[in-house]
Amino acid sequence: MRDILPGEMGAWYFAEGLAREVANRFGYQEIRTPVAEHAELVERGAGESSDIVRKEMYRFQDLGERWLVLRPEGTAAAVRAYFESGLDRGPQPARLFMLAPMFRYDRPGKGRYRQHQQFSLEAIGDGSPALDAEVIEVAHTWFAELGLRQVTLNLNSIGDETCRPAYRDALVAYYRPLKERLSADDQRRLEQNPLRLLDSKDDEGFKAGAPKIADFLCDDCREAFGQVCGLLEAAGIEYQLNPLLVRGLDYYTRTTFEFWHGALGGAQNALGGGGRYDGLAAALGFTATPGVGFGLGIDRTLEMVSEEGEEIVSPPAAELLVLPAEAGLERAAAAVARRARELVPAAVDYSTRSLRAKMRSAGGSGARWAAIFNGAEADRRVVQLRDLASGEQREVAWDDLARTLGE
């Protein structure tokens, strides 16, 4: 887990502000769910055999001896909130989004943190494939307006409970004779969750010859997927069909998608991903209800924004620093800052250092102005307003300060 410092904050404001703005533009409303959830909810959602549940959860008992987790993903929580708060009885679908930290005990590395921030979005309560295309368009718009040019969309359908069992059988029949040559991890996948073999990192070329889900889709899934592809084309959104895209969470049905960046590599390093999860609500013990959504990793996305050479400036500590030249001028300094704040962010140097030291530190602070005064000037209600870049300085009355700064 890491600290995000003031110098990075401009980029975070921009990315999160744009996420809110784009989501609102499509009619999605923000929700905030607690950072902890009942372990059982998250485990049932992501699936017992998923990597997240098997080895990445911050799982603990609270003082009431309830098992909780720091949420590793937001979809199970969003579905819980949808039912518990009565959104299931309002207009459908509920269009919701979150900007929230997620926690995974993974091996930390570049773009992989134990706490990461997601822009996640869910359309719950309507099974139309048009919503799959809609949520993809929201994500696409966010990446585009962040200025990213090297993002590619990978798209697949992994079928539903009608057609997936036959596909799973075909995969097992293909991999079973290869079992001895698979890694221990993949041997376990073969027994517990064969679809995840398509996502294996230890694969030795077996995936390429494996049966393809596209050959197994039932008519309904095939038609729905055709509609998603057609709608993306109509929206001018390019995509790449990727029959190996199965995603790491167990709740997906039909459409799955991921956004990849050229400077990251492989599915492990996606900027974001999502899909349809029509079986999730029932698996959590609620009324069967369809849904579709995505989670986009803001940490990684911002790393790619700077990788592509875009620089987003962070706000300085203050644009104007008030520098009282003597002790005992706190009240006047606060009054000057209050007037400056009518126009620019302003702060006071309340330290007991010499004026020379205060000037030096103001010069290195990134501030544009210094307002300097001594006791006599305070009595006359004036300051020396100094442009810290040019060194130009002039006397300004307190009451003219905001107007002068605006010139």
Q: Which is nearer to ligand HAM, 275 or 324 (CB)?
A: 275
Indicate whether 337 belongs to the interface with ligand HAM (CB under 6 A): no
Q: Write out the H or E segment, with its range, that includes residue 307.
A: helix 298-307
Place of tokens 């002039």: 394
Compare residues 159 and 295 and give the one whose CB is closer to ligand HAM: 295
Residues 195 and 171: beta-carbon distance below 8 Å: yes
274 binds ligand HAM (CB under 6 A): yes
Q: Kindly state whether residue 125 participates in binding ligand HAM, applying the rule CB under 6 A.
A: no
When binding is defined by CB under 6 A, the residue of 194, 272, 290, 324 that contacts ligand HAM is: 272
Which part of the chain contacts ligand HAM (CB under 6 A), choosing from 160-168, 270-278, 310-318, 340-348?
270-278
Contacts by 265-270, CB closer than 8 A, 24 or more apart: 266/201, 267/154, 267/199, 268/201, 269/111, 269/300, 270/297
Q: Is 324 in the site for ligand HAM (CB under 6 A)?
A: no
CB 48: neighbour CB atoms within 10 A? 11
> Which position's Cβ is nearest ligand HAM?
297
The residue with tokens 């869910």 is: 122
120 binds ligand HAM (CB under 6 A): yes
Residues 49, 192 contacting (CB under 8 angstroms): yes
Q: Which is nearer to ligand HAM, 131 or 332 (CB)?
A: 131
Distance CA 26, CA 244 (A): 30
Contact pattern from residue 49 through residue 88 relative to ligand HAM, giving x for each residue in contact according to CB under 6 A and a dash for the rest: ------------------------xxx-------------
Q: Is 122 in the site for ligand HAM (CB under 6 A)?
A: yes
> Is the Cβ of residue 136 or residue 359 nearer to ligand HAM in the bound state?
136
For residue 327, CA distances in Å to 323, 333, 350 come to 11, 11, 9
Task: Decide if residue 119 touches ligand HAM (CB under 6 A).
Answer: no
Q: Rank residues 45 and 324 by Cβ distance to ligand HAM and give the closer one.
A: 45
- Enumerate residues 6+ apart whose C-beta is below 8 A from 109: none
**How far apart (Å, rounded) are the C-alpha atoms in residues 159 and 165?**
9
Q: Which residues bind ligand HAM (CB under 6 A)?
A: 73-75, 104, 106, 111-113, 116, 118, 120, 122, 248-249, 270-275, 277, 293-295, 297, 299-300
